[in-house]
Amino acid sequence: MDESCHNDEPQAESMNCLFCSLIKTVKDAKEKQGAFYTHMYNARIEILQAFRSLIDQRISNLEKRKEGSEGKKATKIVVE
């Protein structure tokens, strides 16, 4: 990536790297199109809820495994 395009000085569009052009487009969308950011915000919530469901499922599985193993105890066997 070209370091010269990462400063605040205005430059010709053809001089910006692809990443900088993308960031500029996103910044412009923020100012002009609130719907884009509304969708992005909602997507972040959905991702977090997806991870929460995985965590809740794992907790449930561990609790079931714990309940099943509480009734079992080791039996000592004497070997001759």
Q: Which domain holds residue 61?
A: 3-70
42 vs 1: which has the higher pLDDT: 42
pLDDT at 1 over 50: no
Residue 45 lies in a domain: yes
Stretch 8-23: mean pLDDT, rounded?
Answer: 69
59/25 Cα distance (integer angstroms): 42
Predicted structure pTM score = 0.47
List pLDDT tens digits, range 23-78: 888 777 766 667 877 888 899 999 999 999 999 999 999 999 988 777 667 778 88
Phi, psi of 74 (to 5 degrees): -70, 145
Residue 51 lies in a domain: yes
Which pLDDT score, from 0 to 100, does residue 7 have?
56
Is residue 5 a contact partner of residue 20, using CB atoms and an 8 Å limit?
yes
Residue 77 lies in a domain: no
Which pLDDT score, from 0 to 100, does residue 6 have?
55
Residue 78 lies in a domain: no
